[in-house]
Amino acid sequence: MDALLVISFFLAAALLFAIPAASAAAPRAFFVFGDSLVDNGNNNYLMTTARADAPPYGIDFPTHMPTGRFSNGLNIPDIISEHLGSEPALPYLSPDLRGDKLLVGANFASAGVGILNDTGIQFRLYELGARRVVVTGTGMIGCVPAELAMHSIDGECARDLTEAADLFNPQLARMLGELNAEIGRDVFISANTNRVSFDFMFNPQDYGKYTVAIIQ
């Protein structure tokens, strides 16, 4: 199966599972690992304070109701699913994830997960059959609403966190390039989330209905 995965690398979940083989004509399955940027409802099933089950979350979702997504509406995996021509992958904890729904994929993201020393084992995904893995860098972590509310005096983003993202993202891209060279094919794709976040924040009119506002 030509599986497409999105991994929010800064706070990546260390969850792995086998991806079964399928014919080349079969639709691609979509599996998601990560944190609140890509969580689409797993935390609704967990005992945690990191929840998005009340307004204003979901106010721009088609149902106008909170869904567990840490966004006012669709999140990035939802948009990718649209472009793949498939329905969004369900949270892995959802009781509805069974039968044919399993062929669509699954979302393993959970808001608040931390980065661990063993999260590097996610790169075994290639050995398990994944052939397109999108690894996102860190976004504008110094500009998230919580950071601005707690530490910003004049509305500027936190400089130390901004600098940390600027240091981390190029190193991530280089590491993925080296990994692809070892494999001999371009499997791991680096996504510049920082640049995308910057565009969303300062040029929202360019994105119309696809603008994703993280309001955590």
**DSSP at 109:** -
**What mean pLDDT do residues 117-122 have?**
49
- Of 109, 135, 134, 136, residue with least CA distance to 39: 109
* Confidence band for 61, pLDDT divided at 50, 70 and 90: very high
pLDDT at 155: 80
- 216: in domain: no
Strand blocks (E) in the chain: 3-8, 30-33, 105-107, 130-136, 188-191
Q: Which domain holds residue 166?
A: 3-210
Indicate the residue type of 109: A
Q: Is residue 215 part of a domain?
A: no
> Looking at the domain assignment, is residue 170 inside a domain?
yes
Instruction: Using the predicted structure, report yes or no on whether residue 15 has a pLDDT greater than 90.
Output: no
Mean pLDDT of 186-199: 82
- The domain tally of the chain equals 1
